[in-house]
Structure 1
């Protein structure tokens, strides 16, 4: 049965706009009638668009891990072997670029649309990969890493926006988990591609060349994907939003989706919001929740654990390659479990359980440091605690914020608010990575791990008091419930 021809007949955009403006009661009745007649939208229509979008997350994970294995070979070939400061810059230069890209992501995704923003993300990643692969000096490598970083900063923000806006409500959590899974796969791919680097001369250049392929694929495939109907509606392109909703949800759900957009948009002016307006007024509460979630996510110590994992495993006699595989497997396993549970248990439950699990895992690390001089059990506790910490992170604290925040941000502020929150993520991430070894030296492992556990408990309390459940709700229902609580 062809739903497009029997249930839904496209209206001219002007007629549809007039129909949507008849009033809240009429719109609500329209939503109810259409939903009763047609049920939930098919997830199959939006799936290809979501899969293409997550290529940017794969690239994000790949470039985070691409220099881990080849770093020694890179330093020898480019003439800075033994210079730990230069090696640190090669690893972290992409973080500086990511902050720049993230700061401009709101303007870019609002100005040119989500699809074009994805394609713009691919451009510096391709150029940066070429520069890194062909560099003959440290300066060339650093510039290539910086360019890649700008794409890394832009990509995750746009991916979170796009996946949230094109997904049907009943699978939005599952699709949002694809972002974390793609990031994990990117990290694992970087690990495996880097394995021959010690045996094959110049293999590190191949590691960078390879990354240009998925970046080019993202730019090409996005040309055939749907634009976000929410962005089109926000720009006043109602007819085009209607067409894209039909591609993503099916013809029978277009009227209900457009009616909900009209209800949430009513009373808002169409002018673009300024960044300064995010810090006061009715939008401050949701922006505060978003920035705190990302700050607490990084203050939990997750990236410090990733940075320090190889040393911990080596102390137990486990080679670093196996250590990275174990950590990657724990991360991927948790992300897959989160995907299966996101639309069943809900976002808030996963966040609470994740932060509490991370706190308990850090507690094991504290116990391990206490038993350091007594017996060999401290090694097993430390390794086990680290793997459990990564697993708990992947169950909620990793994937949920990137999905939850675009859900709770109104359409009017969504792009700029996500850019602000992701900027906080990058800044805190940078300082945790910068200060971790110094704090470990000054405070000791026991005190530092206790601090991380305290931040995890603080995060759980914050989630319990401030985060609302968004499972199964439309973006417009979430917006109305939050604004009514202000």
Structure 2
């Protein structure tokens, strides 16, 4: 019988494995928010590492952000095959390589073409690592802590997002990319090779002796390892010999895929990605528009807080309840923001920039609307508070949970392929939600856009209660 201290010791060792597995996501987080550093720098000084000048057009600046999602599409597809063929551990090493090449290319860039190619390669890393690392964590974690373990990936990503913004203040954009190179070198050459292979992958590839050794290390002496191995094999028996991708059209598998497609759709069209990418633009519509770096830092901190909270409660409360809570918070936040925007007095004056004396050293500015400067009795804090609440809500459920359920919904034998299809569709939907932000705002008005996010969240609550299967505390094979 395992004692409480032995269990804590074993969970502690697993937690170190989760951190090592997720360490590469620091680079992913840096990649996602690096455009803020690049945009801020090139407006002031567009010099490269070699002292030459880099010219950036408006469409190229837009592509710096969206290229990540384009690069992730082939990354997801390739990872679906790679993770099954090469194994989870070495797939994480392989996933780091395009990111390593991309960050190196960006740091040495002489023109925008090199930057965009580098961003595409970093996007491929985002897709590949999303499948490999999350699949590995799901398969090594104890059932009781599997949900919290999955959230560690999101926490490390937020660490990277905050770090790149902090590094971006004293360092140039190409120097920040060099830091990302260092993170990936440590990850793929030092940390990942020290990890064991996934025991369930070893089972489905008929390496039972290795699997038993890893299971004893992970599950402790209190677990009947031969019986556990037999149960895991039985869960994958029907699909173990499948080849190709046709099995994804089997009725039960297709049903699960469609449920996850719908869940990603709800998440993306409640503004999960929009709030990360367009915080400054959303705040600019109020009288409290922070400079891009400060806005990004604010959102990232809120996302980190939400991810930390869900890490503490996910395995206790369950996926469905956390998702319902998350969507209810988003519903309320955007309903208030839409109503406030609708009834707000329209300002006709042009925006002017006022430099804050306290932020001179950081070259930060805050936009105020002329003749409409807020005073202590102003309600202009409402949009900021609503966006913070929406960010908190999405990071506590609608952001991470679709990614957590993607590997949990499928057995080991087909997990990587099925997950890559679901996450690929989620990435396409994320790209669509970002591209439709301005058209939806023009068509529906600003208030209508926020109300549409609120209505989508309401539909998501019903969708979750009707269709989502609870996986907390259950073996996922």
Same fold (TM over 0.5): yes
Q: Structure 1 residue runs of 4+, over 6 Å off?
A: 38-41
Superposition pairs of residues 36-115 of structure 1, within 5 angstroms = 42-74=10-42, 76-77=46-47, 81=55, 83-115=57-89
Secondary structure of the 1:472 match is coil
Q: Deviations over 1:292-338 (max 9, x none)?
A: 21222111112222222113445315443332222111111111010
Of 255, 262, 267 in structure 1, the residue corresponding to residue 226 of structure 2 is: 255
The size of the alignment, in residue pairs, is 436
Tell me if structure 2 keeps the 8 A contact 1:273–1:413: no
Tell me if structure 1 keeps the 8 A contact 2:55–2:111: no
Partners of 1:432 and 1:319 lie apart in 2 by 23
Of 113, 120, 124 in structure 2, the residue corresponding to residue 139 of structure 1 is: 113
Compute the displacement of 1:181 (Å). Answer: 0.8
Partners of 1:456 and 1:130 lie apart in 2 by 40
Tell me if structure 1 keeps the 8 A contact 2:55–2:112: no
> Which stretches in structure 2 are left out of the alignment for 5+ residues?
347-371
Compute the displacement of 1:273 (Å). Answer: 4.4
Match of 1:240 in 2: 210
Match of 1:26 in 2: none
Secondary structure of the 1:459 match is helix
Structure 1 residues 269 and 65: CA distance shift in structure 2, 3 A: closer
Question: Does the alignment pair 1:265 with 2:249?
Answer: no
Partners of 2:320 and 2:40 lie apart in 1 by 42
Partners of 2:314 and 2:239 lie apart in 1 by 34
Structure 1 residues 148 and 319: CA distance shift in structure 2, 3 A: closer
Of 344, 353, 356 in structure 2, the residue corresponding to residue 372 of structure 1 is: 344
Compute the displacement of 1:54 (Å). Answer: 0.6
Compute the displacement of 1:280 (Å). Answer: 3.4
Q: Deviations over 1:443-483 (max 9, x none)?
A: 2111111111121111111111111222222224xxxxxxx
Compute the displacement of 1:250 (Å). Answer: 2.4
Partners of 1:81 and 1:389 lie apart in 2 by 36
Match of 2:177 in 1: 208
Structure (1 or 2) with the greater helix fraction = 1
Compute the displacement of 1:222 (Å). Answer: 0.8
Of 306, 313, 326 in structure 2, the residue corresponding to residue 334 of structure 1 is: 306
Compute the displacement of 1:438 (Å). Answer: 2.5
Question: Does the alignment pair 1:321 with 2:313?
Answer: no
Partners of 1:217 and 1:362 lie apart in 2 by 41
Partners of 2:99 and 2:74 lie apart in 1 by 14
Secondary structure of the 1:85 match is helix
Compute the displacement of 1:206 (Å). Answer: 0.5
Tell me if structure 2 keeps the 8 A contact 1:371–1:378: no
Tell me if structure 2 keeps the 8 A contact 1:122–1:215: yes
Superposition pairs of residues 156-171 of structure 1, within 5 angstroms = 156-171=130-145
Partners of 2:14 and 2:242 lie apart in 1 by 28
Compute the displacement of 1:365 (Å). Answer: 1.4
Secondary structure of the 1:475 match is coil
Question: Does the alignment pair 1:154 with 2:124?
Answer: no
Tell me if structure 2 keeps the 8 A contact 1:279–1:287: no
Structure 1 residues 313 and 195: CA distance shift in structure 2, 3 A: farther
Tell me if structure 2 keeps the 8 A contact 1:109–1:117: yes
Deviates more, 1:123-132 or 1:291-300: 291-300
Tell me if structure 2 keeps the 8 A contact 1:226–1:248: no
Tell me if structure 2 keeps the 8 A contact 1:105–1:419: yes
Length-normalised TM-score, structure 1: 0.85
Superposition pairs of residues 380-395 of structure 1, within 5 angstroms = 380-395=381-396
Secondary structure of the 1:344 match is helix
Tell me if structure 2 keeps the 8 A contact 1:331–1:391: yes
Length-normalised TM-score, structure 2: 0.86
Partners of 1:284 and 1:41 lie apart in 2 by 40
Secondary structure of the 1:226 match is coil
Q: Deviations over 1:414-446 (max 9, x none)?
A: 111110011011111111111212321232111
Q: Deviations over 1:353-407 (max 9, x none)?
A: 1011111111011012112217965532211110000000111112222222222
Secondary structure of the 2:241 match is coil
Tell me if structure 1 keeps the 8 A contact 2:272–2:399: no
> Which stretches in structure 1 are left out of the alignment for 5+ residues?
4-34, 198-202, 477-486
